[in-house]
Structure 1
Amino acid sequence: MYKLRGHHLFCLLGYRGMGYSQEYVENMTRLHQALRENPKTLIELVKGPDQLCEKYPNTGDYHCQDANLYERDAVILEKMGLHIGQKLKWEDIESQIQKHVIPTDIQTVCSTCHWRSYGVCEEGIQEILDGKGLREVK
């Protein structure tokens, strides 16, 4: 079982092998690949830093404790009808995305994220809506 915070549910959709450091990318790729290969993998939704944050590079201010991220986590979970402490399969998270999320939600929900400008998160949401699952990361 993986522990994930709210906004990382969207980050996984847009993940294309880029990240904050080599260690972060390796960790994110491992988790992404596990979910892609086995959508029945259990996820526990947590408040605050999760298993992806564990590999965020130590560059001074700890990005993963930023108040904006906690707010983004809450907005995303509420939008998807999910809550902290809930345990569910990744395929159930994809189902909630199909029911409650559209690609343009990224523009408002993730308005302060610097990764938003790449457009990959909207593409990732559309692929989930189309029933394709997570995109392969090469």
Structure 2
Amino acid sequence: MLKIRPHHILCMKAYIGKGYSQKFNENMEKIIKTLKENVNQQVEVVFGLDDICSKCPNNMRNGLCKSQDKVENIDLKVSKHFEIKNGKYTYKDLQYKVYSNINEDKFMDICKSCEWHYITNCKDLNLKK
């Protein structure tokens, strides 16, 4: 079962093939492909390093991210805005929770501090005004 942090639900939809390293990109693309092929599969939402983080060069040996405080804050905002908690969900249910409720204000609250915000397709997430 894939483990996904809350904010990565947004990152996967906006991902355009750019990332921290080749290993990271390959891993992200594999995870996205797996989830697209079966949106009904169960994933586990975790508030910590997940399967996407596993290939990120910011993943430090002690099990934390170099940007730990920032990503924890982003995860908490996603959790609050879309009522996502630790536990098991189908990927389809997670997508529904986020993308049927996202709007520009929520998006900016969650993503404005992200370094990828201006590089990726984040603005194309079908935001409601």
Give the shorter-chain TM-score range: 0.7 to 0.9
Residue deviations 1:39-96 (CA, integer Å, cap 9, x gap) = 1121101011111111012697964552111011011011111101x21111111111
- Which TM-score applies when normalising by structure 1? 0.80
Provide the C-alpha distance between the structure 1 equivalents of 2:88 and 2:56, rounded to a whole number of angstroms. Answer: 24
Q: Gaps spanning 5+ residues in structure 2: where? A: none
Residue type at the aligned position of 1:105? K
Deviation at 1:106, TM superposition (A): 2.5
Q: CA RMSD in A?
A: 2.3
Taking structure 1 as reference, are residues 8 and 59 closer, same or farther at Cα in structure 2, changes over 3 Å only?
closer
Aligned position for 2:13: 13
Taking structure 1 as reference, are residues 119 and 25 closer, same or farther at Cα in structure 2, changes over 3 Å only?
closer
Deviation at 1:35, TM superposition (A): 0.9
Provide the C-alpha distance between the structure 1 equivalents of 2:122 and 2:43, rounded to a whole number of angstroms. Answer: 20
Aligned position for 1:91: 92
Greater helix content: 1
**Are 1:42 and 1:89, in contact at CA under 8 Å, matched by a contact in 2?**
yes
**Are 2:14 and 2:121, in contact at CA under 8 Å, matched by a contact in 1?**
yes
Q: What secondary structure, in the 3-state scheme, does the structure 1 residue paired with 2:118 have?
A: helix
Residue type at the aligned position of 2:111? C
1:58-77 equivalent positions in 2, closer than 5 A: 63=65, 66-77=68-79
Deviation at 1:98, TM superposition (A): 3.2
Provide the C-alpha distance between the structure 1 equivalents of 2:27 and 2:83, rounded to a whole number of angstroms. Answer: 27
Q: What secondary structure, in the 3-state scheme, does the structure 2 residue paired with 1:117 have?
A: coil
Residue deviations 1:4-30 (CA, integer Å, cap 9, x gap) = 111111101101111100000000000
Residue deviations 1:110-133 (CA, integer Å, cap 9, x gap) = 11111111351231x219x8xxxx
Aligned-pair identity in percent equals 26
Aligned position for 2:111: 110
Length, aligned pairs only: 126
Provide the C-alpha distance between the structure 2 equivalents of 1:59 and 1:51, rounded to a whole number of angstroms. Answer: 11
**Are 2:59 and 2:66, in contact at CA under 8 Å, matched by a contact in 1?**
no
